[in-house]
């Protein structure tokens, strides 16, 4: 999709490898059936990955596991895709996790969809972007005014709640105030970087990687052409735009949004029906097992009228609990049926969510399904 949009606008595409990220690239999701024939999600852990370690600084472990065997009732493209990903990772080159997975994906794209993706794009790496002229300029600005940087970063982050990790201020030692970067500890784990880390980086004594919004700020500030995002990433760029404008004084070019809906041909029970929620009836019967009566209200009112912390209030409360216990025992058959109905409905709902998932790895789809996608784009002003 990105290639098609770039080609339509007469641009040569570049691909950003977010290799300062600590996510596990080898955790490959796929649909399957359990022993009862229910649709479930499984994860193939293709290679080990140490939590908290950036993929761009983690050596390829060279311990690739075999792809799992998928139920025969699942579309054939899923098993084929897992096998192809395994082979691509075996054939790929690269010293780090990020390099190996990127090369494997590029090999698969070129083998299966060469007309759609075009020639391999130019690569841009998050772990090296701060060494560019634009990156070094941004770091110098941060060092000159770290407190302004921090406050404007946190303010911009409020545009998309939960998107940007708040930068911590240290009032006792300003050198320990956080900056919008990551560094590595002695075990090579990613940790928040401070003003002191950034100063040591400038002296060549510390590794510094950009956080996501600083990364895209630097990338976007170096080109008048749009960055292409999916819909989720587009919201995050609102934070990038605000911080870059307010702190660096740079108006970034607009981004383009590219998205498509593609689902695997999976079937789930009750996919076309709207089911009443049994949990409402279950909650009512458990907590007020006297339907049509005012028994529960009368009991609660009596407790409320009793003096606070009095033995009378405690006695009334204990009496209510005992009456509730006995009433629930009388309704146990109905309660058990409702609990089972709620469990089954929850299970059907989970299967429907899996069947409608649009985020499976692209190699699990048939090529013709990918080639038949309708491209939808929009431009958002920076």
User: What confidence tens digit (pLDDT) does each residue in 287-302 have?
Assistant: 888 877 888 888 899 9
Closest among 93, 123, 128 to 20, alpha carbons compared? 128
Q: Which of 250, 258, 187 is nearest to 223 (CA)?
A: 250
Reply yes or no on whether the pLDDT at 15 is more than 90: no
Distances in Å between the Cα of 4 and the Cα atoms of 31, 119, 126 are 29, 12, 24
pLDDT digits (tens, 9 = 90+) for 188-238: 999 999 999 999 999 999 999 999 999 999 999 988 777 888 777 778 899
Q: Which pair of structure tokens corresponds to residue 287? A: 């907590």
Rounded CA separation 233/239 (Å): 10
- 248 half-sphere exposure, CB direction, 13 A CA radius: 25
Q: What is the pLDDT of residue 140?
A: 97
Q: Locate 381 and state its tokens.
A: 């002003």
Query: At 382, is the pLDDT very low, low, confident or very high (cuts 50, 70, 90)?
Result: very low
pTM (global) more than 0.75: yes
316 closest CA partner among 289, 334, 338, 298? 298
Q: Among 83-87, 110-114, 137-141, 273-277, where is mean pLDDT lowest? A: 273-277
CA gap 3, 14 in Å, rounded: 9
Query: Minimum mean pLDDT among 32-41, 63-72, 286-295, 346-355: which range?
Result: 286-295
Count CB-CB contacts under 10 A for residue 133.
Answer: 9
Asked whether the beta carbons of 121 and 14 are under 8 A apart, the reply is yes
Mean pLDDT of the chain: 90
**The pLDDT of residue 244 is above 60:** yes
The Cα 122–Cα 210 span in angstroms is 20
pLDDT digits 0-9 by tens, 123-137: 899 999 999 999 999
Query: What is the per-residue pLDDT across 154-165, written as a single tens digit (0 to 9) for each?
Result: 999 999 988 888
Better pLDDT: 7 or 72: 72
């Amino acid at each position: 999709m990105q290639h098609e949009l770039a080609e339509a606008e007469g641009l040569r595409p570049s691909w950003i490898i977010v290799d300062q990220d600590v996510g596990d690239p080898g955790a490959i999701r796929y649909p399957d059936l359990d022993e009862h024939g229910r649709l479930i999600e499984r994860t193939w852990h293709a290679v080990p990955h140490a939590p908290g370690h950036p993929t761009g600084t983690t050596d390829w472990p060279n311990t690739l596991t075999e792809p799992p065997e998928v139920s025969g009732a699942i579309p054939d493209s899923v098993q084929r895709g897992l096998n192809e990903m395994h082979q691509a990772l075996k054939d790929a080159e690269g010293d780090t996790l990020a390099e190996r997975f990127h090369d494997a994906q590029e090999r698969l794209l070129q083998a299966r969809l060469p007309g759609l993706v075009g020639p391999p794009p130019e690569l841009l790496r998050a772990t090296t972007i701060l060494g560019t002229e634009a990156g070094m300029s941004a770091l110098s600005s941060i060092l000159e005014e770290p407190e302004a940087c921090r406050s404007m970063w946190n303010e911009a982050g409020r545009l998309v709640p939960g998107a940007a990790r708040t930068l911590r201020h240290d009032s006792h030692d300003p050198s320990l105030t956080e900056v919008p970067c990551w560094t590595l500890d002695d075990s090579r784990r990613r940790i928040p970087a401070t003003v002191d880390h950034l100063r040591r980086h400038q002296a060549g004594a510390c590794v510094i990687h950009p956080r996501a919004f600083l990364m895209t700020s630097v990338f976007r500030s170096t080109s008048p052409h749009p960055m292409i995002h999916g819909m989720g990433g587009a919201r995050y760029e609102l934070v990038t735009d605000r911080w870059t404008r307010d702190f660096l004084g740079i108006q970034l070019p607009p981004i383009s949004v590219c998205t498509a809906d593609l689902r695997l041909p999976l079937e789930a029970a009750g996919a076309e029906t709207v089911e009443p929620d049994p949990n409402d009836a279950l909650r009512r019967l458990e907590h007020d097992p006297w339907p049509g009566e005012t028994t529960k209200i009368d009991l609660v009112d009596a407790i409320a009228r009793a003096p606070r912390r009095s033995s009378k209030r405690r006695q009334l409360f204990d009496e209510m609990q005992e009456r509730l216990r006995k009433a629930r025992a009388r309704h146990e058959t109905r309660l058990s049926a409702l609990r089972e109905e709620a469990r089954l409905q929850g299970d059907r709902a989970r299967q429907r969510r899996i069947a409608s998932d649009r985020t499976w790895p692209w190699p699990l789809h048939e090529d013709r399904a990918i080639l038949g996608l309708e491209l939808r784009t929009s431009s958002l002003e920076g």
